Structure 1
Amino acid sequence: MELQDLILIAATTLGLLSLCKALINFLIWVWVMFFRPSKNLKEYGSWAMITGSTDGIGKAIAFELGSKGLNLLLVGRSPSKLEATSKEIKEKYGGKVETKSIVIDFTKASGEEICKMIEGGIRGLDVGILVNNAGMAYPYVMYFNEVELEVMESVVKVNIDAATWVTRAVLPGMLKKKKGAIINIGSATSLFSYPLGAVYAATKAYLAMFSRCVGLEYRQQGIDIQCQIPLFVATKMVKGLEKASPMLVPSPEMYSKASIRWIGYEHICVPYWMHSVQWFIMHGLPDALLDWCVFHYFLNVGKKRLKRLMMPDGISIGAASA
């Protein structure tokens, strides 16, 4: 057999192997996204605690967990919103779901105060699931030096400190019974560059690494710790995408259904199927091209917002953004 024939056979074999690998990965993705059964969440415990539970993803996850028969411990900073959310849950599920509330303003409470308030709130409750959803972003895109110190501090406290200290407060109870699930709601900004939102992106990157490391520490103790990565979801934090297709930018309710199906599985995951497709495409782009596209997209978003804030005579009525 000639060398040319051997090279052709080798190239064909490698091509077939690559094709088989791609096909296997695709079939695994289909199984995980659409057919893998969700875990019995009540086995973790009878109560689920959700921070940032009065709006957006947090509220939708609370309702979805309630549909599974879990009692709900709602955490937020607004007593009126917590009361309204509890009322909605009771109206929907009747006496099947019990609710309790903890009022905390994460932008003001210290780590020790957060621990004490959470420990007091969960005393006597079989908390099996914790969803660290509370999050804060810039009011609009801006360069790092434009971010007000108060805003910067609040973003760090809500996105990093709150999740860290709430986890610290809940973990001992889970360790005692050797089971539990902790879900940290991250962001796609932790997976690629996010100019004009640097501090927010960095805090979400912390959540991803925190979840991975702590998840490895407690995996043998029966505690499943996970960071879920959403891309754009139609919440108050996402502006300017109101006309986008619900398939590309799902509602919080659509996202929450995907979210709870992933609880107890991978440490880092992208639960919503179309987000996974979007991430696959973005991941395949050269870094330089992706960075350019992302920067100019958010730069354009900032210019549009600034234009809306301009008075007819050209005087700005809001803080300037990029």
Structure 2
Amino acid sequence: YDYTSWCMNRVVYNIFQSKMEFIFLVVVIILILVIHSKVMSVDNIVVIEEMLGRWAVVTGATDGIGKAFAHELARMGYDMVLVSRNQEKLDATASEIEGRFKVSTKTVQADFSSSDEQMYSRLKSELEDLDIGVLVNNVGTSCDHPVYFLELENHPGQSYQSMVNVNIASMVRMTSFILPRMVQKRKGLIINVSSQASKMPTPLFTVYGATKSFVTKFSQDLSTEYRSKGVNIHVLTTGLVQTKLSGVEKTSFFSPSPQTYVRSAINEVSKKRCSDGYIGHQLVSFIASVVTFFIPETTGSLVLKMLNHSKTLRVKQCNDCDSK
């Protein structure tokens, strides 16, 4: 569950106890965001529909945001390279895309939680002869509940090394494989999926937040390096989306479905180089950034207090399950 975004929502709401005050503030900020979006947008940074290459590559392509990106890019006419760790789910997703959009697909099984050089060598060889126009570095992992840094190693499969491998190393390596050909032909798009956790206090999700800060910083500087060479790099700082990773079960204005989020995000990608991708996430990000700027210590303490409470409840639930 993405407790960090949930806690920031709670922090923001607690500051404005009156519902009417909160609603009025939301309306005003939405208007500000819409105006800001129009002013800051640059027309046609990149037009994905014009086909930047024959193939698009998506990591973490069998669930959530990654799967939605794969479907949306296939709808635009791109042949799809789907990269994920579960071959059965890869085959099912590929079959679904081929049947629905009449495009070709290629699947590559890869478990990014390891730093296996043979796996990366195989990945590179699978991709090197393809005309790739779009790369979506989407794969990511986090803890399934709040945890102190020193407790991470007690959670199999959720170690800090695993998070660094999945959230950072996979993005850097995939980019290094695909970027040279994009530079050579002077066109291409790389979308790196970050998180609002990169811009907010994330105690008890310390490593996750830090890895996402790396994604955001890496993407912004890489964009500056290569935009003059015809390659656009965009970073999405996503908030809550109804996905397996977030644990959100119902959609809302603040937590859209993956399909709704991706359709909005692709529109943002065509106009900006860094965005939250969705108006509801922009709203939360704007308020949280203002609150964090003025009272950083208080905000961090409030988040820590809420996450500690969630951690206690989670431990109690686990103990109750063990006793049954």
Scaled by the length of structure 1, the TM-score of the pair is 0.82
**What amino acid does structure 2 have at the position aligned with 1:297?**
M
Q: How much does 1:307 deviate?
A: 2.2
Is the Cα–Cα contact under 8 Å of residues 38 and 260 in structure 1 kept in the other structure? no
- Name the counterpart of 2:296: 287
Aligned Cα root-mean-square deviation (Å): 2.5
Distance 1:301-1:79 versus aligned 2 partners, 3 A rule: same
- Name the counterpart of 2:217: 209
Q: Aligned to 1:242, what secondary structure does the other structure show?
A: coil
**What amino acid does structure 2 have at the position aligned with 1:138?**
C
Is the Cα–Cα contact under 8 Å of residues 115 and 168 in structure 1 kept in the other structure? no
Q: How much does 1:298 deviate?
A: 2.0
Q: 1:290-309 to 2 correspondence within 5 Å? A: 290-309=299-318
Cα distance in 2 between the residues matched to 1:206 and 1:309: 33
- Name the counterpart of 2:76: 68
Q: How much does 1:88 deviate?
A: 1.2
1:123 to 2:131 alignment: no
Cα distance in 2 between the residues matched to 1:40 and 1:209: 23
1:82 to 2:90 alignment: yes
Cα distance in 1 between the residues matched to 2:274 and 2:194: 9
Cα distance in 2 between the residues matched to 1:31 and 1:86: 39
- Residues 115-141 of structure 1: per-residue CA shift (max 9 Å, x gap): 422321123321000000010111321
- Name the counterpart of 1:49: 57
1:273 to 2:276 alignment: no
Cα distance in 2 between the residues matched to 1:37 and 1:214: 15
- Residues 22-47 of structure 1: per-residue CA shift (max 9 Å, x gap): 988752425779x9897243431121
Cα distance in 2 between the residues matched to 1:222 and 1:270: 23
Distance 1:57-1:173 versus aligned 2 partners, 3 A rule: same
Q: How much does 1:214 deviate?
A: 1.2
Distance 1:43-1:36 versus aligned 2 partners, 3 A rule: closer
- Residues 46-89 of structure 1: per-residue CA shift (max 9 Å, x gap): 21100000111101111111111111100011111100110111
Q: Aligned to 1:192, what secondary structure does the other structure show?
A: coil
Is the Cα–Cα contact under 8 Å of residues 46 and 232 in structure 2 kept in the other structure? no
Is the Cα–Cα contact under 8 Å of residues 198 and 213 in structure 2 kept in the other structure? yes
Distance 1:27-1:91 versus aligned 2 partners, 3 A rule: same
- Name the counterpart of 1:259: 265
Is the Cα–Cα contact under 8 Å of residues 233 and 255 in structure 1 kept in the other structure? yes
1:188 to 2:196 alignment: yes
Cα distance in 1 between the residues matched to 2:34 and 2:141: 35
Q: How much does 1:311 deviate?
A: 2.5
Q: Name which of structure 1's ranges 76-85 and 257-266 shifts more when overlaid on structure 2.
A: 257-266
- Name the counterpart of 2:234: 226
**What amino acid does structure 2 have at the position aligned with 1:284?**
V
Q: Aligned to 1:309, what secondary structure does the other structure show?
A: helix
- Name the counterpart of 1:242: 249
Aligned residues between the structures: 288
- Which stretches in structure 1 are left out of the alignment for 5+ residues? 1-21, 318-322
Is the Cα–Cα contact under 8 Å of residues 146 and 311 in structure 2 kept in the other structure? yes
